[in-house]
Structure 1
């Protein structure tokens, strides 16, 4: 089982949201420690959480979501609810057009069998790496590229050639909607670069990691994170450090989002 912070990080849902879902009975922890009050979740609960998020994205209120999930509605009843919501969207202003499109897509999906991608999680040891890095608290995750760009600018000014792909290291206990504590890092040779106020040189330690390769846009990485979460739970491991995203094929000239390749790593140890 996972502590609420670990479950937050792997599901990419803020801790305060998970606590609220527990408070209203929408997503209850699998277990609550009688002594500490700590909440514990399991990988299986991701299925219900993903359904909550999907219905919430379609504009349903939380009490409506609870009805859909807990009242054992038939597929036809759910289709009917979606069509009612579709009619409401059609009467709303043009700013709601994007949400209407998602509703229509969801309706079409009821007649198709969803196919989830398969991810092969592997356990491996990563060697120590000497890196140049910048650690900062940024507004949102999508601003990470600016931080990495700043680091590459410093390397270029000092004629330092990267010795491997860039990466991002995430230090927050759980998923953050704002104020993300992140370190961008690039492997470099020893003594190639002098530290300054922003750029630091240090070694990333060796770790045993659970690793998975993901290909596609950064906005669709949740199933890959879910695969690692299930593997960690099923194989009796625990997370022991900040996770890393290593950008093996990143945005660049003539590289489409569906061609991005990212390795996701979580440092782990046996329980």
Structure 2
């Protein structure tokens, strides 16, 4: 048996807490010396204490813990409850990390409001683009990754001859955004590869020829987390020039988003986000 101080060190639970558990009947010592009042605990009480501490970590009150222990709790049930709580905490951490990134981006935007824009926006005549793309409603703006894999797999045996210029050996990639207003979720976007030649459609992958057009463009240097600043800079430039931006349309009447992101750097070849380059371009409406 262990005196309360020894037991406290063994289980790393403060003595006042053990005394309180005794007081409320949650974990009573196996023996109390009648003359000294010393409390003694046994190793056989460790499983019960472990369950008490685990249930406390799950947010149970002491009254609820007493009820659960009285009804009996198998080791498998305990493991299941802890696994569920583990998954919940991981989800909370992921959400908190996402919120932290968003706060940092907003803070950076506010700090830059009084500074001159570092983006050099230019007018650019874009020649016709032959693209293979997969369009989908995405959970957020960073959800395009799987779509690129889907396009590449759909190209199959045609990939070697059809993929456009670099970066990387897998061709030039870009994203088209279709929404006419900013949305944080359920974003309408398409992942695309520029092609050298026509290939047949396959599954959700379709091939389109986007006609030549005039676009306002700039180059974003750095992580994709802050690329919104580049879009904002181009939009402000368009408005300042009294111009209007509008969706792309093919000769067959298929409509596409006005905004595209062309990835000039392959993250697989350049692991440092600070060195990534992405061209942000917005299509200008054709004057009637």
Which category of TM-score, normalised to the shorter sequence, fits these structures?
A: 0.5 to 0.7
The 5-angstrom pairing of residues 39-188 of structure 1 reads: 118-161=118-161, 162-164=163-165, 165-188=172-195
C-alpha distance in 1 between matches for 2:96 and 2:190: 36
C-alpha distance in 1 between matches for 2:240 and 2:96: 41
C-alpha distance in 1 between matches for 2:191 and 2:270: 23
1:213 aligned residue (194, 208, 219): 219
C-alpha distance in 2 between matches for 1:215 and 1:153: 29
In the superposition, relative to structure 1, how do residues 143 and 238 fare at CA in structure 2: closer, same or farther (>3 Å)? same
Equivalent position of 1:198 in the other structure: 204
Q: Greater RCO between the two (CA within 8 Å, min separation 6)? A: 1
C-alpha distance in 2 between matches for 1:249 and 1:261: 5
Equivalent position of 2:241 in the other structure: 235
1:67-125 CA-partner distances (Å, limit 9, x unpaired):
xxxxxxxxxxxxxxxxxxxxxxxxxxx998996xx79xx7xx99xx9866511100111
Instruction: Please tell me whether the aligned partners of residues 270 and 276 of structure 2 are also in contact (alpha carbons under 8 angstroms).
Output: no
Structure 1: unaligned runs, 5 residues or longer: 1-93
C-alpha distance in 2 between matches for 1:270 and 1:196: 32
Instruction: Please tell me whether the aligned partners of residues 176 and 189 of structure 2 are also in contact (alpha carbons under 8 angstroms).
Output: yes
Instruction: Please tell me whether the aligned partners of residues 135 and 188 of structure 2 are also in contact (alpha carbons under 8 angstroms).
Output: yes
Once the 2 structures are TM-superposed, how far is the Cα of residue 226 of structure 1 from its aligned partner? 2.4
C-alpha distance in 2 between matches for 1:96 and 1:151: 32
Equivalent position of 1:256 in the other structure: 272
In the superposition, relative to structure 1, how do residues 147 and 116 fare at CA in structure 2: closer, same or farther (>3 Å)? farther
Equivalent position of 1:11 in the other structure: none
**Bigger-Rg structure (1/2):** 2
Structure 2: unaligned runs, 5 residues or longer: 1-92, 166-171, 248-257
In the superposition, relative to structure 1, how do residues 198 and 235 fare at CA in structure 2: closer, same or farther (>3 Å)? same
C-alpha distance in 2 between matches for 1:124 and 1:159: 28
- Give the TM-score normalised by the residue count of structure 1: 0.55
In the superposition, relative to structure 1, how do residues 154 and 196 fare at CA in structure 2: closer, same or farther (>3 Å)? closer
Aligned length: 170
Once the 2 structures are TM-superposed, how far is the Cα of residue 184 of structure 1 from its aligned partner? 1.2
